[in-house]
Amino acid sequence: MSGFGNTSRNDIWWVRPLLVFLGLSSFIVYATWAALQGEHYAIGPYLSPFYSPEIFGSSPHSWFGPKPSWWPMVLPFSPAMLILWAPGGMRFTCYYYRGAYYKSFWADPPACAVSEPRKTYLGENSFPLIMQNIHRYFLYLAVIFVFFLAHDAWKAMWFADPLTGEQTFGVGVGTLVLTLNATLLGGYTFGCHSFRHLIGGFKDRLSKSPVQRKLYNCASCLNRRHMNWAWFSLFGVMFADLYVRLCSMGIWTDWRIF
Amino acid sequence: MFYGYLDRLEDILMASYETYHHDVLVIGSGGAGLRAAIEASVAGVSVAVICRSLLGKAHTVMAEGGVAAALANVDDRDSWKVHFTDTMRGGQYLNNWRMAELHAKEAPDRVRELEAWGAVFDRTDDGKILQRNFGGHKYPRLAHVGDRTGLELIRTLQDYAIHQKIDVYQEHTIVSLLKEGEKVVGAFGYDREKGLFKVFHAKAVIMATGGMGKIYKISSNSGDCTGGGISLAYHAGAELIDMEFVQFHPTGMVWPPSVRGLLITEGVRGEGGVLRNKQGRRFMFDDIPELYKGQTSTDEEEGWRYTQGDKNAKRPPELLTRDHVARCITREIKEGRGSPHGGVYLDIAWIKEKISNASEHIKRKLPSMYHQFKELAGVDITKEPMEVGPTTHYIMGGVRVDADTQMTTVPGLFAAGECAAGLHGANRLGGNSLSDLLVFGKRAGEHAAVYAKGTKAGSVDDKQLEEIATWVLSPFERESTPTAENPFQVQSDLQEEMQKLVGIVRVESELNEAIEKIKAFRERAGHAACGGNRGFNPGWHTAIELKHMVTVAEAIALAARERKESRGGHFREDYPGKSEVFAKINVSIQKDAAGNMVVKQVPKLKIREDLQQIIDEMK
Amino acid sequence: MAKVVFNIWRTNPSGGEFRAYETDITEGMVVLDAVHQIQAEHANDLAVRWNCKAGKCGSCSAEINGHPKLMCMTRMSDMPEGKPVSIQPMKAFPVIKDLVTDVSVNYRVKKSIKKFKPRSPDAPDGTWRMAQVDIDRVQEFRKCIECFLCQDVCHVLREHALHDKFAGPRHMVYNAALEMHPLDIEDRTGDLKNAHGIGFCNITKCCTTVCPENIHITDNAIIPLKERVADKFYDPLMKLFRIFSK
């Protein structure tokens, strides 16, 4: 009754963990590749979410100008590397993803009521996984990022006239993509278990604080579908980068709706 | 490993036993048992609880609607006096008036006490314990938690009890009480796991073993409800009363067959659910008994307003007492106006005509009903009506007890909860059983402790123990005899016959037939045999249990034959009306010196003047 | 009516084995009905624990086709047609006999959790006031019927047998019901971190998927408790905040 994969389940229990494995792996591969490119991440008013905020960089979206002179020569430079650790950390320490990758990457367990490959188990009770408790700090950063990305979506509604440089309001497909991205990320971030706790869940008597209660209820509502938000926002952000990238490379053309 | 038949038999027939000593021994770990044990432990005596199953699994978990207590949180006109009057009226005045008085007075404190122990009842808008309407209760009186009040109650008691000084014996079965002279001085049992014998010496024993629904085929009761405690007390010489009064709950599931009898809470009707026959008629309006004419509505709209908390509206006839509703349903079915599977329709889905978020409301107020129908019958009660029919639910009768102390007619033996009799008279009101458990569980614990403190430990002679041990092991020896009976078969046949002959509608000829058949069942039970060994052996357990089931069945049938009238839970086709004579008596059952079951009519207790006045004022 | 084969785990002196029994299945039957039928017809001594047969007591937990489930709430019509059904005892607990397991560890763990301790009453008559919105959360946890299926499926207990280090999902739910109780003033976070080992949970949510009462064990009980433990032990900012707000 023991040994890796042993179970009396007669359904195809391995499909789900396999899909999670494939989904997460393809994201990691794509995101790493895209982050290392260091180019084709902006076009017109659009900025790829992998590169936002652009602290140093060559696009007009950059805060402090191009790559700093003090950047060590040996290290490859990409504006994405300066910031991507924050949303990456958010997802890595996210309660949903933790459960998902412990199963599909680490087979701990491979699926419910299915035997595991190893005998010892430490869980999140000791180093290194005890560090997962840092999640709320990544959450604080992620909340800031949601505002940056919302700002990017706002900026994506203002198109500069190539001749006069005058900014006019407009909506392109890219605008929709970036808006959707910010929305999905908002839904994911504000449905985070830590957010739900910090916004009101820590209290036993929320009836005494009506505003907090409302916020807690909103967070709980998003939290019920946290898994869906996690996946949709993951693919949303990947697609947003891909869209900006392909437009920037001239493979796709952004279609201006009005 | 070679393990021959004789070796095995020798192993099985080892009659050694372990011995335990306690001041108070509580048999049964449902609401009454746990409440009694807590109270006894507070008094500082050593207490043990015998659980037939695991702790917290007793039939109490199945109670749904609520616990009746005149807290007056929802309607401030309520008081113990109204609750007392409702209980007496519901019991057709055969109740032990003193129990009804104590019950009505003490229930509110018992409920508040649960809150102090961690129970989380549903709330009113101003944060108090919410109360709901229920059949026979004049005002909204049932403190509840959705439709899983029993679970809340038993869990609260369980979680409180484990931090008291109480020894808990889980999965132990008591097969006989032990006596020294007239006194009860302990109990003989075995543990289910290994089948080892245990002798519990105790200065006082409290029976809290619940009901007997499982002697009927269609029953809302848990598998444990085989009437064991009533039978144990009877065989120890205790007097039983009111055994003819069995409550058939009007609404049990009727389809699919495997869940037939499973309870549908009265709360469904309390929340506005209505009963209809196959013609769509609300047949409950057709027959409203005299005693309730004044407080029952004849208008559908008014009935709806009542369920929604309108204090000036009268209750709809669906919320009449259970005995009456059950009989009306039986009538509809018998006269061919029933549903396809032999029930009638109970419809809560119709309230969508009245309130906008009906589906959510139903799921919130009746979550386990929704779940139960969805999972077991594939019916969505927010969309379709349920098919319902009467199911054996409760026995008002049981061991006769002193109202104040809960002592039975045998010194040292106490009883509380469903296995005790008196509070409910001829018919119990919904919600009064959970309050019964609390009020009289506490009293039993308290007085058993007092009794134990004032008495010396008794002793049991070995002969008594040997006799019991031999009897308990006898099913193994019968395994290969030609007359051997399959215990499950005997049980199932008994249930079948009881359902047929001593059910909701009774008649002399059938009762006579039943009594004859029960004699034959006693014979068959004596041949019940089992294979296997003593470790967790359901065949063996059932073989032993049959004795108790047959005893209780006989008591019910004899008492039912004795009461030649119709009253409350007892309906005689051959005597359909109430009788002045029987209004003044309780039917009593006791074992005589020769071991025969003797039926007697005993005059009911004379009610105290001031209480009679209260009843008269509220008529 | 159809005949179905059941492979039921039967213990014997050398451990145990699956034994095949065939019985008739009629409309609406649940797995427990089939087991009872087999018990009555073929195996009087087949040990199975059950009480209410209505999904309310939580006694008849077992593994049906490898899935931890209540036998009384598993309908035969949901079983794959034409295939034998396997029934075995819960794996996370020692077997007593056949389908019956020794779940006593759960009772011991529960006793080790600090009991309910209410604040002093709100009203002079010794009662309290609680808002329904505040108890909704706790009432979800109190739906628990203690079937211990969550304990069974939890790999920390099932695979690694860390019963003495990790209290398990059921007792996390119990802790949550107490910790979030609007009246309770006891602090159990220290115990949760140490004695009850909340860190062992790696939130794979198997407990939630098997819960017959649909309690959101992981999302609503365990994770909020993990957050409360983090507040107290793993969050330096919170610690500072607590020092200054004193």
- What's the average model confidence in pLDDT over B577-601? 96
My answer on whether B253 and B243 are in the same domain is no
Q: What mean pLDDT value characterizes chain B?
A: 94
* C46 interaction partners in chain B (CB closer than 8 Å): 538
Total domains, chain A: 1
Helix axes A85-92, A226-248, angle to 10 degrees: 150
Give the pLDDT of residue A1: 45
Based on the domain organization, do B255 and B375 belong to the same domain?
A: yes
What digits encode the pLDDT tens for the residues B135-158?
899 999 999 998 899 999 999 999
Are B388 and B492 in the same domain?
no
Q: Do C223 and A193 touch (CB under 8 A)?
A: yes
Best to test chain C binding among B1, B53, B54, B132 (most C CBs inside 10 Å) = B54
Whether A123 contacts chain C with CB within 8 A: yes
Query: What is the reported pLDDT for B16?
Result: 83
Is the Cβ of A202 closer than 8 Å to some Cβ of chain C?
yes
Instruction: Flag whether pLDDT at B11 surpasses 90.
Output: no
Give chain B's domain count: 3
CB contact under 8 A, A121 and C159: yes
Q: Are residues B426 and B514 in the same domain?
A: no
Q: What is the ipTM of this complex?
A: 0.96
Residues B241 and B212 in one domain: yes
What's the pLDDT tens digit per position in A130-181? 999 999 999 999 999 999 999 999 999 999 888 888 899 999 999 999 999 9
- C85-88 vs C2-12, strand pairing mode: parallel
Q: Which residues contact C143 (CB under 8 A, 6 or more apart)?
A: B148, B151, C213, C215
A69 touches chain C (CB under 8 A): no
CB-CB contact of B391 with B249 (8 Å)? yes
Would you place residue B587 in the very low, low, confident or very high pLDDT band (cuts 50, 70, 90)?
A: very high
Q: Is residue A9 part of a domain?
A: no
Q: Please, what's the largest Cα pairwise distance for chain B?
A: 78
DSSP assignment of A160-195 equals EPTTT--EEE--BHHHHHHHHHHHHHHHHHTT-HHH
C14, C33, C44: residue with CB nearest B530: C44
Tell me whether C204 touches chain A (CB under 8 Å): yes
Closest-CA residue of chain C to B113 = C127
Please indicate, yes or no, if residue B559 is contained in any of the structural domains: yes
**What is residue B4's predicted lDDT score, i.e. its pLDDT?**
53
- The pLDDT, as a whole number, for residue B6 is 60
What is the SS3 assignment for B549?
Answer: helix
Q: How wide is the angle at C-alpha A158 spanned by C-alphas A155 and A163, nearest 5°?
A: 130
Q: Is B112 in contact with C111 (Cβ distance < 8 A)?
A: no
- Is position A256 within any domain? no
Q: Is the pLDDT of residue B416 over 70?
A: yes
Domain assignments of chain C as residue spans, ordered by start = 2-101, 104-245
CA distance A201 to A191: 12
Q: How confident is the model at residue B8 (pLDDT cuts 50, 70, 90)?
A: low
Yes or no: say if B391 and B219 are a contact pair by the CB < 8 Å rule: yes
> What pLDDT score was predicted for residue A2?
63
Q: Which residues of B are catalytic?
A: 249, 269
Note down the domain range covering A190: 15-248
Check which CATH number belongs to the domain holding B480 and give it: 1.20.58.100
Residue B67: predicted pLDDT: 97
Q: In whole numbers, what is the pLDDT of chain A averaged over residues? A: 94
pLDDT at B10 over 70: no
Question: Which pLDDT score is estimated for C69?
Answer: 97
Q: Superfamily assignment of C2-101 in CATH? A: Beta-grasp domain (3.10.20.30)
How many other CB atoms sit within 10 Å of the CB of residue A70?
5
> What values do phi and psi take at A244, rounded to 5?
-60, -40
Is the pLDDT reported for residue B173 higher than 70? yes
Are the Cβ atoms of B123 and C110 closer than 8 angstroms?
no
Under the banding of pLDDT at 50, 70 and 90, the label for residue B443 is very high
- Contact B196/B540 with Cβ under 8 angstroms? no
Q: Residue B7's pLDDT is what?
A: 62
Q: Which residues of chain C have pLDDT under 70?
A: 1
* CATH fold of C104-245: Fumarate Reductase Iron-sulfur Protein; Chain B, domain 2 (1.10.1060)
Among chain A residues, CA nearest to C87:
A8
Question: Do B487 and B412 lie in a common domain?
Answer: no
> How many CB atoms sit inside 10 A of residue B286's CB?
12
Task: Determine whether the interchain pair C129/B126 forms a contact, defined as Cβ–Cβ distance below 8 Å.
Answer: yes
Hey, are the CB atoms on B120 and C100 less than 8 Å from each other?
Answer: no
| CB neighbour list of residue A221: distance below 8 Å, 6 or more residues apart | A191
A141 touches chain C (CB under 8 A): no
In-domain check, residue B7: no
Range of the domain at B481: 472-591
Q: Are residues B500 and B530 in the same domain?
A: yes
pLDDT digits (tens, 9 = 90+) for B465-508: 999 999 999 999 998 899 999 999 999 999 999 999 999 999 99
Q: Which of C32, C70, C60 is nearest to C212 (CA)?
A: C70
Q: How far apart are CA B149 and CA B68, in angstroms?
A: 11
Closest partner residue to C203 among A99, A113, A121, by Cβ? A99
Strand partners, C21: C6
- Residues paired with residue B585 on neighbouring β-strands, in sequence order: B603
**Co-location of B236 and B299 in the same domain:** no
Total CB pairs under 8 A between chain A and C: 127
Domain co-membership, B261 together with B327: yes
B314 and B320 in contact (C-beta within 8 Å)?
Answer: no
> pLDDT per residue over B287-306, tens digit each?
999 888 888 998 999 999 99
Q: Are residues B411 and B360 in the same domain?
A: no
* Cα–Cα dist B21/B40, whole Å: 15
Comparison of pLDDT for B520 and B5, the residue scoring more: B520
Interchain contact, B62 vs C57, CB within 8 Å: yes
Q: How many CB atoms lie within 10 A of CB C32?
A: 21
The closest CB to that of C97, out of B112, B531, B535, belongs to B535
Residues B130 and B210 in one domain: yes
Residues 6-45 of A with CB under 8 A from C: 7-11
Query: What is the pLDDT, as a whole number, of residue B1?
Result: 40
Which pLDDT does position A73 carry in this prediction?
Answer: 83
Q: Do A112 and C204 touch (CB under 8 A)?
A: yes
Q: Which of B145, B257, B539 sits opposite C139 (nearest CB)?
A: B145
Judge contact between B533 and B543, C-beta under 8 A.
no
Q: Which of B200, B218, B221 is nearest to B210 (CA)?
A: B221
pLDDT of residue A69: 86
Chain B residue numbers with beta carbons less than 8 Å from the beta carbon of C144 are 155
Output the domain CATH number for residue B402.
3.50.50.60
CB atoms within 10 A of CB B86: 26
Give the whole-angstrom CA distance, residue A127 versus residue B515: 73
Q: How far is CA B177 from the centre of its chain?
A: 21
- Same domain? B402 vs B385: no
Chains contacting B (3 or more CB pairs within 8 Å): C
Asked whether the predicted pLDDT for residue B234 surpasses 60, the reply is yes
Cα gap B27→B229, rounded to integer Å: 8
Q: Give the C-alpha separation, B614 to B617, whole Å.
A: 5
pLDDT digits (tens, 9 = 90+) for B328-349: 999 999 999 999 999 999 999 9
Chain B residues whose beta carbon lies within 8 Å of the beta carbon of residue C98: 536
Q: What is the mean pLDDT of residues B316-322?
A: 91
Query: Which pLDDT tens digit goes with each residue over B424-437?
Result: 999 999 999 999 99
* In the predicted structure, residue B46 carries a pLDDT above the cut 60: yes
Q: Is the pLDDT of residue B5 over 70?
A: no
Residue B601 maps to a domain: no
Q: Please judge whether B59 and C52 are an interchain contact, meaning their C-beta atoms are less than 8 angstroms apart.
A: yes
CA distance B487 to chain C (A): 8
Q: Give dist(CA A202, CA A189) in Å, integer.
A: 18
User: Given C33, C56, C127, which is nearest B112 (Cβ)?
Assistant: C127
